[in-house]
Amino acid sequence: MSKRIIISGGGTGGHIYPAIAIANALKMEDPSIDILFVGAEGKMEMEKVPKAGYHIVGLPIVGIKREVSLDNAAFPLKLTRSLLKARTVLRSFRPDVAVGVGGFASGPLLMVASLLRIPILIQEQNSYAGITNKLLARRAKTICVAYPGMESFFAKRKIKLLGNPVRSDIIGSSSKRLEALAHFGFANHRKTLFIMGGSLGARSINESIREGLKALNDSGYQIIWQTGKAYIQTAREAIAQVGSERTKAFDFLYQMDLAYAAADVVISRAGALSVSELCLAAKPAILVPYPAASEDHQTKNAMSLIRQNAALLVTDAYAHRDLIETAIRLLEDPGKQKELKTNIAKLARPDAATEIAHEVMKLID
């Protein structure tokens, strides 16, 4: 009988893509493994996971809004319904191990799994543990983390410092530079700036790029601009107004390996997945942490690089003033690019997904 693994979590790409990377590593370990994903209804995992080739079941769970909201009144009912559906899914699928990657979608599934005595592994991407993972930690057999010092959140005996699992095609993506430039219709002799604000976009970054687009264009740079769905039309209008044929805007990028391969410099939020990808791609980066992230964990993620001179920092509050100037200065400074590239590459953990998959397999009797 084939082994069965259930993987739960989602809400953003920062949870979804590590989950898919773990699933892919498990399949490499044992192609006969049966894997089922569980996410939240209406969230992006319901689209991204099937595109990666896996089946997913949605729960009606929602997150609790931090501000006063009528939406919070529906939380107890949706939580109850999610717990009941999670029990049905678990009893039907009968997994050997339940894996949680964070996000509120993993809460009900892992809670019920622990009550059914199914071994649990948690993967925490950030340098500051998320609420769901903190609540579930005492029920977990193993907790895989990406940053040192996580003993302040989890029992030391459970922790495995393995890094964040990312898409395998990003490893060694620099070798695809010529292919990548051709893919985007770019010239080899020009410098390329890649801007990404995460799977949901980033207002301060997008606004700063829109305001500074003429300066970037006049400097002769090529730009890959991943905007998120909410900003794509505004970005296209800005590009048309400037008349820049060297700027390509996308609401979402599926071929991230080619975007990294083409880039000389990257502007990014400091979500755990983005930081891990930048380390593996070994790209000079300007990080703009999202200040409203829970417990300001993106700033903590960014500082783990800044302290080792492996990236530059621009705060969200001053992005409109400093981001374009910082980007142009870095693009014109090959010495600084080389320094950042060398230092960030030292932080990469290319085998994280495989090592986490090994920990999952250890929990199967």
From the annotation, which residues make up the binding site?
12-14, 126, 167, 199, 272-277, 298
C-alpha distances (whole Å) from 249 to each of 200, 202, 235 are: 14, 14, 7
Burial class (CB in 10 A: 0-12, 13-18, 19+), 307: exposed
Dmax (CA) for the chain in angstroms is 63
Amino acid residing at 337: Q
Going by the annotation, the residues of the binding site for UDP-N-acetyl-alpha-D-glucosamine are 12-14, 126, 167, 199, 272-277, 298
| C-alpha 56, offset from chain centre | 19
Which residues make Cβ contacts (< 8 Å) with residue 157, sequence separation at least 6?
none
Integer Cα distance of 101 and 28 in angstroms: 19
> How far from each other are the two terminal CA atoms of the chain, in whole angstroms?
13
Half-sphere exposure in the Cβ direction for 100 (13 Å, CA): 33
Integer Cα distance of 249 and 202 in angstroms: 14
User: For tokens 């492996």, what's the residue?
Assistant: 310
| C-alpha 223, offset from chain centre | 21
Integer Cα distance of 50 and 140 in angstroms: 27
User: For tokens 């059914």, what's the residue?
Assistant: 116
Integer Cα distance of 364 and 1 in angstroms: 13
C-alpha distances (whole Å) from 320 to each of 88, 138, 206, 288, 326 are: 50, 43, 10, 11, 11
C-alpha distances (whole Å) from 271 to each of 73, 196, 198, 268, 277 are: 29, 11, 8, 9, 10
